[in-house]
Amino acid sequence: MKSYLPKFIFIGITLLFVDNQAKSQDHIDFISKEVCSCLTGIQDINPQGNAEEDLGKCFESVFKENVEALETIYGEGVIGLDYESGRKLGEEIGKKLAKECDVFIDLFVRKAQEKNAKEVEFFNKGEAHFNADELEMAISAYSEAITLNPKNAEYFNQRGAAYYGKEDFYRSISDFYRALEIKPDYHRPFHNMAFSKYQLGDFELALADAEAAIGIDAEYADSHNLRGLIFNELGKTEEARVSFEQANRLDDKNPNYTFNIASTFFDEKNYEKALEWFLKVPDLGDTSSTVFGKIGNCYDLLGNHHKAVEFHTKCITLNPDNYVVYYNRGLAYVNLEAFEDAKNDFQKALALNEEDLDVFYQLSKAYFELGNLEKAHELIEKSMELDTRDASFYDLRASIFEAQGKFDLAIEDYTVSISLYPDDCEIHMALGKLFQNNQNPARAKDYFQYALEKGCEDAEDYLSKQTN
């Protein structure tokens, strides 16, 4: 019988949290009173003793004396063999002790209540620190709660979320796993674990966890959105959009889901559809420079450059220290052939970021279009010092050389450009025109022929003129 006593003892200590009502059968009253009397006597003699061991001794003594009566009521084997009957009996006795035995209440119930209150206090502190973005203090408080109760899945989930906030993704994943060991059907740790693996680039594993989260709670919109983000990283744009659309159906007030749908169309170069969805986002409350920038880019790509300038200007108002917003508006001005405005924007972008080669390149082009060949040449040279493998840099410098009358240097640069991108028909056309202007019709014809073969149909006009 001794090996089964701990089950009764455990139940007796914890049943306060199961049910506060006790049955009034005489045998339960009798046994409870006997156990209480025994425990009281032992505590009076030795109050510093081991309370759990003392309780076990009292259970053992009283059960031995009343085994026949108990088996008559609960069936043979109630003590030692029939676990379910023993569990039921332990609950009933424990409820009675927790309600009426002062020494039991002092030794176990109040202690359990105090422990429970303490762990809740630590957890609430963790939540307060977490919401204040004080992640180290949040982790410390959650850890205290876990020490007091290592069987609470929510404590591990929240500590994992705090680790995630610190970008300590491996520790966050460990805590989410531990939460699931305690509560396997808990949706949030699956969702959070998927996000952690997504951040680590483990997209296939992240997808499996996101699917598991959706399997538990298919109504949680953010899990569908996360699955869309993962599909997007896996290059599955259609599947991504389906997931984003499902998230949007579940919560059509969340601007992120709408923005993500728009982004899939943008990535597919369906700019009209992308613009349609991007325009919905500000109405949902997201008026960030990122959103306005995407709207501006769509307008630019669709040929409405004035509208593009309007939205890029909004971006600059919101985020004047970001070089990208000036760069994007500068491109819109280029498309409007407003090269002075473009130059000014590219100069502001360059002042904010001197390492972006595209800014050097576009500023050089703006100066070229404005006729300042010296400044254009200076800037493109800086670009080429940093990258000697960009064909567009050679193309621009060749144009500058050509405008300066340095035809041999222009030919050299165009030739390098062709070696980098041999299928670029426009450069074959440029060389053809260059040789034609320099009275070298044979070379011009060769390059116009190459251009035609590479896809520049207007090269046929130049070839026909040469023939005539």
SS (H, E, C) 330-393: HHHHHHCCCHHHHHHHHHHHHHHCCCCHHHHHHHHHHHHHCCCHHHHHHHHHHHHHHCCCCHHH
Question: Chain-wide mean pLDDT for the chain?
Answer: 86
pLDDT of residue 464: 82
- 181, pLDDT greater than 80: yes
pLDDT of residue 291: 97
pTM passes above 0.75? no
Beta carbons of 117 and 107 less than 8 angstroms apart: no
Q: How far apart are CA 445 and CA 126, in angstroms?
A: 77
Residues with Cβ within 8 Å of residue 432, at least 6 apart in sequence = 444, 445, 446, 447, 448, 450, 451, 459, 462
- Where is average pLDDT lowest: 80-89, 203-212, 298-307? 80-89
pLDDT of residue 11: 36
Please give the share of the chain, as a percent, with pLDDT higher than 90.
65
The domain limits of the chain are 2-100
Structure tokens given for 48 = 């510093």
- 208, pLDDT greater than 90: yes
Beta carbons of 156 and 176 less than 8 angstroms apart: yes
**Residue whose C-alpha is closest to residue 440's, from 224, 448, 64, 22:** 448
The whole-number average pLDDT for the span 112-121 is 73
* CA count, 13 A, side-chain hemisphere, 34: 18
pLDDT digits (tens, 9 = 90+) for 313-336: 999 999 999 999 999 999 999 999
The whole-number average pLDDT for the span 426-446 is 90
Q: How far apart are CA 389 and CA 18, in angstroms?
A: 73
